[in-house]
Copies of this chain bind each other. A is one copy, B any other.
Amino acid sequence: MEALDYHAGERSKAEFDVEEMKIVWAGSRHAYEISDRIARLVASDPVFRKDNRTMLSRKDLFKDTLKKAAHAWKRIIELRLSEEEASRMRFFVDQPAFTDLHWGMFIPAIKGQGTEEQQQKWLPVAYKMQIIGCYAQTELGHGSNVQGLETTATFDPQTDEFVIHSPTLTSSKWWPGGLGKASTHAVVYARLITDGQDHGVHGFIVQLRSLDDHLPLPGITVGDIGMKFGSGAYNSMDNGVLRFDHVRIPRDQMLMRVSQVTREGKYMHSDVPRQLVYGTMVYVRQQIVLDASCALSRAVCIATRYSAVRRQFGSQNGGPETQVINYKTQQSRLFPLLASAYAFRFVGEWLNWLYTDVTQRLQANDFSTLSEAHACTAGLKSLTTTATADAIEECRKLCGGHGYLSSSGLPELFAVYVPACTYEGDNIVLLLQVARFLMKTVAQLGSEKKPVGTTAYMGRAEYLMQCHCDVQRAEDWLKPSVIVEAFEARAARMSVACAKSLSKFSNPEEGFAELSADLVEAAVAHCQLIVVSKFIEKLQRDIPGKGVKRQMEILCNVYALSILHKHLGDFVSTGCITPKQGALANEQLRLLYTQVRPNAIALVDAFNYTDHYLSSVLGRYDGNVYAKLYEEAWKDPLNDTVVPDGYHEYIRPILKQQLRTARL
């Protein structure tokens, strides 16, 4: 029997080689093959089933998560998976778990901040998971302001130990993932105090639970902080609360790569540059940008496929109705998100390169690009996570009523994704950092220090302040140089305008605070420029496969012109383009949508997601939506009985007018 495929017609319309696009999306043939193999492995394993996840109680969900983590680890060992394969496996299991923090934060923190000796002691046991670690920074009272943390680590020279203590309620550690129930250890951030002197916040490795019976060690109070957004979603994670009552740890458990405390209690710095920590941040944030492209592409895949199945209105002479994907409003909402998924993927790839570049420079003691790289990753983390969170919800709305069902997969995807806007730096706080860097860059224009990397365009600020866009017909907007110049001019003019306003304040800090809302907008303009330019740069390379490059060009233009349309006020009011040119851009955008349309399904097929990973009835590869929606419904526990539990106590007395006498 032929496999059913409601999308077959759509698939046959594609004007490019989907298999080649899969490789572009994955980054390389090697990456594609690993992803493809591991995704299937996970999808075919019944332990990794997740279609019933949103119905589980908190306790059952957590137990299910422990089971999946253990099973994944077992498979990783049995199959002798490489680090890369293991990490893909955790990715496709697709259920937040303590292991994310163990591998993603605990180990990198020790690697980045521990001495050689500490690494040799702790990393092997961590790699084997003989200990499970988490990253305990945030407290009830402090998240963004890390320097304001209140937990103390006081050196006791008598015993050569640190005393870790939670002096106030607000100093309770709060939020660390994996802390609540699973971790045996944590990297704890606390104020280092020696001899009555406060040296600010430092990291310490602290054992939390006994390795014998998992009970908290003396002086430690630890638990889960309770339910979070959504059903299923991030509730599989045991984000935790932790209090210390004078807990003692040996001196050598302070992470001492950059600063040390000697046996005598003397506080010192090594010659390792402090900026090293920025390297880790660049690493973590480039990962977040790649994750954004995954979450976004997943939502877009669901909404695109469903939009091709869903028909509403427009039947002619009793024929089928119009697929909603053919409506221009649907396209103008959906296709920019499809383009963003690709754009974020490519900028994430570039960030990955940037991380390598920065690391190499650091090793050569070259700090010249560090602050630019730091600002750029902070900005891109903010830009891509905000856009992705909004986009997932837009995709849900694009699916009409059915998008609101858990079985559409979109509610859970949204709920599990949104904290990315907050963790690893609140998105607004990050944009303010970018803005600060931009103001510094503008202030230094004309000086010795030339702007580098993603701010290099600022070096041409004089030109960009007065250049004129020469678009005269809609198709002029297809020229990469035209697009880049418009985005550069807009970003430069907004930054320079802010700098001018700032200069009117006698106190620059006051000015910065007063103008911060405008500064954030300038930072966004700068980050959007980066995404656009990196997409265009990607297209300058050789890209094999019939029609693949052509599709990418279309998507790149959709991304750029849709951003331009959305922020038209910026472009026009800074005089970068005229209102007429704005209208031409919009006209061109409409034409581009028409070019995306026949390729839409193939463009989401290129993400190569299994139905298991998507876990969406609406996003099924075969498009068999209605039969499966109907089937799913009956699985709800409420359908266990025809007459609902509670009928006799609460419905019947109403109907029979016997409420007065009922005991409720």
B312 engages A660 (CB within 8 Å): no
A313 engages B651 (CB within 8 Å): no
* Cross-interface CB contact of A645 among B59, B175, B653, cutoff 8 Å: B59
Within 284-316 of A, Cβ neighbours of B (below 8 Å) are at 311-313, 315
A652 engages B214 (CB within 8 Å): yes
Within 150-207 of A, Cβ neighbours of B (below 8 Å) are at 169-170, 172, 174-175, 180-182, 184
B407 engages A422 (CB within 8 Å): no
- Cβ–Cβ < 8 Å partners of A586 in chain B: 518
B516 engages A630 (CB within 8 Å): no
Q: Does A319 contact B (CB under 8 A)?
A: no
Q: Does A123 contact B (CB under 8 A)?
A: no
Contact with B along A320-352 (1 / 0, CB 8 A): 010000011111110000000000000000000
Within 403-442 of A, Cβ neighbours of B (below 8 Å) are at 403-407, 411, 415, 418-419, 421-423, 426-428, 432
Q: Does A266 contact B (CB under 8 A)?
A: no
- Cβ–Cβ < 8 Å partners of A407 in chain B: 226-227
| A413 CB, min distance to chain B CBs, angstroms | 11
User: Chain A: interface secondary structure?
Assistant: helix
Q: Which of A225, A228, A427 has the largest count of B CB atoms less than 10 A from its CB?
A: A225
| A295 CB, min distance to chain B CBs, angstroms | 16
Q: Does A62 contact B (CB under 8 A)?
A: yes
A660 engages B227 (CB within 8 Å): no
Task: Give CA–CA (A182, B646) in the complex, Å.
Answer: 10
Within 134-154 of A, Cβ neighbours of B (below 8 Å) are at 138, 140-145, 148
Q: Does A401 contact B (CB under 8 A)?
A: yes
Q: Does A262 contact B (CB under 8 A)?
A: no
A229 engages B404 (CB within 8 Å): yes
* Cross-interface CB contact of A132 among B328, B411, B520, B655, cutoff 8 Å: B655
- Cβ–Cβ < 8 Å partners of A567 in chain B: 569
Residues of A participating in the B interface, judged by any CB pair closer than 8 Å:
47, 54-55, 57-59, 62-63, 66-67, 69-71, 73-74, 77-78, 128-132, 138, 140-145, 148, 169-170, 172, 174-175, 180-182, 184, 211, 213-216, 223-231, 234-235, 238, 241, 311-313, 315, 321, 327-333, 389, 393, 396-397, 400-401, 403-407, 411, 415, 418-419, 421-423, 426-428, 432, 513-518, 520, 565, 567-575, 579, 582-583, 586, 590, 626-627, 629-630, 632-640, 642-647, 649-655, 657, 659-660, 662, 664
| A314 CB, min distance to chain B CBs, angstroms | 9
- Cβ–Cβ < 8 Å partners of A78 in chain B: 660
A520 engages B329 (CB within 8 Å): yes
Known contacts: A148-B321, A404-B228, A633-B223. The answer to whether A657 contacts B128 by CB under 8 A is yes
Task: Give CA–CA (A650, B655) in the complex, Å.
Answer: 50
B315 engages A405 (CB within 8 Å): no
A646 engages B428 (CB within 8 Å): no
B73 engages A400 (CB within 8 Å): no
Task: Give CA–CA (A407, B229) in the complex, Å.
Answer: 9
Known contacts: A216-B642, A582-B573. The answer to whether A655 contacts B211 by CB under 8 A is yes
- Cβ–Cβ < 8 Å partners of A328 in chain B: 513-517
* Cross-interface CB contact of A630 among B172, B332, B419, cutoff 8 Å: B172
- Cβ–Cβ < 8 Å partners of A132 in chain B: 651, 654-655
